[in-house]
Amino acid sequence: MRIHTKPLRKASAKAQSAMEYLMTYGWAILIISVVLAALFQLGVFNPIAFAPKAPPGSCQVFRPNGPGTTSFINLEGICSGELPQYVAQFNGQNAGIQINNPSDFPTGSQPAITILAWVKTTASSEGVFEYYSPSNNICEGSVRLEIDGGAPFADFSCDAIGGGPIVNNNKWNLVGWSLPAGSNQVTFYVNGNAYGPYTITSINIPSNGLIGLIGAPYPGWPYFGGQMADVQLYNISLSANDIQALYLEGMGGAPINLQHLVAWWPLNGNANDYSGNDNNGQISNVNFVSNWYNGYTPP
């Protein structure tokens, strides 16, 4: 019986050619695959990277009668929910934004307050936003929003109360809390979901000598690590529906309830207050970065 070896020789030649091809180009293919995976991990191929971005100061509150007034106020500019071009990157323990002599911050006994901020934390995080009077004891008359142990915290004159789920590092989350006037019941919010209310002790915030801080707690305390955007302060307790609506607007959303908006720091390229109340911040060791969108999922 005659055996036809020609097909076998052809198959062997093809296999040898394939092996030679892999040996010649395999390393190149592997390197390209690793580079593509790294770029994907960095968010280069994230569709958000190609979405329209609002430039700094593109949306702001217009107060025709000046700071502190509430008549005939409205939003002006690109306020259609475009994502910000930049966010604030806090670089180390001395990083922060300070607001000297802030105006219209909620003060007095048991004031109504709502504080909200978009944050993407790292392993070392605590102070998100606070204001206090240095002339008093460091804990007296202080108001804070922080991420402590991965969970949102409110701190009223050193009465620290935590509530809500653990916030995942390297993921963008909208965090905050709301306190009604004359109440000792604070409600936490994470990505539009309410937690609480939780009971606090009475507080009294002085009206003179206040200092506001974004991203930096008291000297010597753990600091905020990561990125932050769209910090909003109100002198009213926003409803759960209002805060859910703000979350659904996403990071590019404009404030709600302008009559009770005290300060608005989008942190889109600067530390200016776009509420029309001139509570602008002074920057220390904070950069504004444009490649922020990794870890952000639109609501």
Q: Report the C-alpha gap between 251 and 229 in whole angstroms.
A: 7
Each residue of 27-50: b (16+ CB within 10 Å) or e? eeeeeeeeeeeeeeeebeebeeee
Report the sign of the C-alpha dihedral through residues 105, 111, 117, 121, in that order.
positive
Q: DSSP letters along 241-299, please?
A: HHHHHHHHH-TTPPPS-GGGEEEEE--SSS---TTSS----EEESEEEES---TT----
Q: Rounded to the nearest 5°, which phi and psi values hold at 241? A: -65, -40
pTM: 0.84
- Three-class SS of residue 211? strand
Query: Do 281 and 214 touch, CB atoms closer than 8 A?
Result: yes
Do β-strands 226-234 and 87-90 pair in parallel, antiparallel, or remain unpaired?
antiparallel
Query: Do 181 and 103 touch, CB atoms closer than 8 A?
Result: no
pLDDT of amino acid 14: 56
Q: Rounded to the nearest 5°, which phi and psi values hold at 264? A: -145, 110
Q: What is the pLDDT of residues 17-76, one digit of tens each?
A: 655 655 665 555 555 554 444 444 555 556 777 777 889 999 999 999 999 999 999 999
Q: Report the C-alpha gap between 131 and 218 in whole angstroms.
A: 10
pLDDT of amino acid 192: 96
Residues in the chain: 299
Q: Which of 95, 83, 132, 112 is nearest to 216 (CA)?
A: 95
pLDDT of amino acid 74: 95
Can you list the alpha helix ranges (DSSP code H) found in the chain? 6-41, 240-249
pLDDT of amino acid 37: 46
Q: Report the C-alpha gap between 256 and 170 in whole angstroms.
A: 27
Q: Which of 199, 133, 129, 191 is nearest to 162 (CA)?
A: 199
Report the sign of the C-alpha dihedral through residues 234, 236, 240, 246, in that order.
negative
Please give the structure tokens belonging to residue 101.
């002599």
Render each residue's pLDDT in the chain as its tens digit; 299 residues: 454 555 545 556 555 665 565 566 555 555 555 444 444 455 555 677 777 788 999 999 999 999 999 999 999 998 888 899 999 999 877 889 999 999 999 998 889 999 999 999 987 677 899 998 877 666 677 898 988 888 888 888 878 888 889 998 899 999 999 999 999 999 999 999 999 999 988 788 888 889 999 997 656 666 788 999 999 999 999 999 999 999 999 999 999 999 999 999 999 999 999 999 999 999 999 999 999 999 999 98
